[in-house]
Structure 1
Amino acid sequence: MCGRLSQYSGIHDFVAALSMPNALVNHIGDLPLERYNAAPTTQLALFHQEEGFLHADMVRWGWRPHWAKDRAAPINARVEKVAHGPFFRAIWPHRAIVAINNWFEWVDEGGSKKQPYLIRRQDRAPILCAAIGQYPSVGRQPTEHDGFVIITADSAGGMVDIHDRRPVALSPELAREWLDPATPKERAEEIALHQGEPTDVFEWFKVDRAIGNVRNQGAALIAPVNPTPG
């Protein structure tokens, strides 16, 4: 999975997609997020559940443990290793959902520059990505060490032609189970490993190369295009 995504809907659109009856503790606000071209280190809306409430906070995309100061903070974690490797051990119990509208990948099609593709659900519903992180909790304020990573798995079907990795996207029912602190760690690992949304839920198409500049924003970036070669 390449490090670029869109999160432009309002927080209540994402809450509606989760279909959670829990009261929302909203630290984000009600306006559309309008992040059409979000890159690593961007503050993104992250959901977690605590004391019976659904919490929405802005958290940095990317995290590393305090002892890994010699490397950049990863933005993704491979589902095959995340539950048992030492790097993410501290945050594996802290499950979250990052709801996105789409993500982007770049494909070498023989031109002078790689061609960006947008991947989204065919029904245009938010994509509920499994994540883990260090984030504000009841009684604790945000800190500079907060952050999250998106869990990724192997792509399948035609999506392999776009990229060999993709986010672990969950159905609303499984997203709610993933968020529930009462869900055992073993069950959470099973969900992430084997129960992500299938490839045929998604569609993908070419978009303008302007998405490559992180300063560019706006709805025009997510529109389909037929670019000229090169």
Structure 2
Amino acid sequence: MCGRYAVTTDPARLAAEIDARNEVSEHDVAEKFSTGNYNVAPTTTVMTVVDRHSREPESDVARRIRAMRWGLVPPWTKASSKDELGKGPLLFNARAESLAEKPAFRSSFKSKRALVPMDGWYEWKPGPNGPNGKPTKVPYFMSPEDGTRLFMGALWAAWRPAQAREAGDDSAWVSSTTIITTDSVGALTDVHHRMPLIMPFEHWDAWLDPDAPADPALLAPPAVELVDRITIREVPPLVNRVANNGPELLDPV
């Protein structure tokens, strides 16, 4: 699974790196992306990469950087306002094996696929028993050994309250995303049996294409050769609290 990760770039720099249009508002940049986030948690506003047409008919598809809520909100979600979204299920992960069947994901899987950039992700293993007699949780951080960025397969959706839809209010839209997970591969199986679906660069065009269904082969677990280039290191338990957020979370133990 993937419930926490780190990302230290900003939308403008990311857009320049991958030749995309930065569509993240200045407000979101100032409030959420002005500094690196070393402890990204569900419900946080995160950066995503999508390929979309412009509003003009027959427009070309362009690659775009957009800000979205981490935790998918299906279009049919019944909530009277954005504030009520936290009362529903927190769909921050989606299993690759069931995307086409699950009602919450199958519509997005058809034409709303995305990428979530990250420096690496966290996972926990059971540790020695604590003072209460229960096993502790020991955090690990997985990241590329060469310091490059990872891009994970994801889905996204657009939702707005029923009253806003009836009134034609386009200011009430909420875009949200979920990170796809698959079976762990190679040494990662020693940390957890699930991992986020790493999407190699050569698969981006096919995965992000909004006008064509995704090839099921794109959902296969990553090649062992790719996973072998990911380092696994134990990190301090600081990451266990969302309030902690700084480069010291990545210090090796």
> Same fold judged by TM-score > 0.5?
yes
Aligned to 2:154: 131
Amino acid at match of 2:98: K
2:227 is aligned with what amino acid? T
Q: Cα–Cα, structure 1 residues 25 and 2, in superposed 2: closer, same or farther, change >3 Å?
A: closer
Q: Structure 1 stretches of 5 or more lacking a match? A: 226-230
Q: 1:149 aligns with which of 178, 188, 192?
A: 178
Distance 1:46 1:9, change over 3 A: same
Bigger-Rg structure (1/2): 2
Please give the secondary structure, in 2, of the residue aligned with 1:59.
Answer: strand
* 1:60 maps to which of 59, 69, 76: 69
Is the 1:102–1:127 contact (alpha carbons within 8 Å) kept by the matching residues of 2? Answer: yes
- What amino acid maps onto 1:222 in structure 2? L
**Letter in structure 1 aligned against 2:204:** A
> Structure 1 pair 213/152, CA: closer, same or farther in 2 (3 Å)?
same
* Distance change (3 Å), C-alpha of 1:162 and 1:68: farther
- Matched with 1:160 is 189
Could you give the per-residue CA deviations for residues 89-126 of structure 1, whole angstroms, max 9, x where no partner exists? Answer: 22112011111111101111324221100011111111
User: 2:94 aligned with 1:77, yes or no?
Assistant: yes
Q: Give matches, 1:1-230, under 5 Å.
A: 1-15=1-15, 19-20=18-19, 24-28=21-25, 32-51=34-53, 52-65=61-74, 66-67=76-77, 71-92=88-109, 93-112=111-130, 113-135=136-158, 141=171, 143-144=173-174, 146-182=175-211, 184-187=212-215, 189-193=216-220, 198-225=226-253
Distance 1:14 1:176 in 2: 17
Q: Indicate how the Cα distance of structure 1 residues 142 and 47 shifts in structure 2: closer, same or farther if over 3 A, else same.
A: farther
Change (3 A) 1:11 1:64: closer
**Residues 186 and 58 from structure 1, CA distance in 2 versus in 1: closer, same or farther, beyond 3 angstroms?**
closer
CA 115–81 in structure 1, closer or farther in 2 if over 3 Å, else same: same
Let me know the Cα RMSD of the aligned residues. Answer: 2.6
Is residue 101–residue 125 contact of structure 1 (8 Å, CA) maintained in 2?
yes
Q: 152-161 or 171-180: which moved more?
A: 171-180
Cα distance, 1:71 vs structure 2: 4.4
Which structure shows the higher helix fraction?
2
TM-score normalised over the length of structure 1: 0.83
Distance 2:207 2:223 in 1: 11
**Residue type of the partner of 1:56?**
I
Letter in 2 for 1:120: S
Equivalent pairs, count? 217
Classify 1:135/1:46 alpha carbon distance in 2 versus 1 (closer, same or farther; 3 Å): farther
Q: Structure 2 CA distance, aligned partners of 1:46 and 1:101? A: 14
Listed as ranges, the gaps of 5+ residues in structure 2 are 54-60, 80-86, 131-135, 160-169
- Residue 150 of structure 2 aligns to which amino acid in structure 1? I
Q: What is the aligned-residue identity percentage?
A: 26
SS at match of 1:90: helix
Report the secondary structure of 2:105's partner residue.
coil
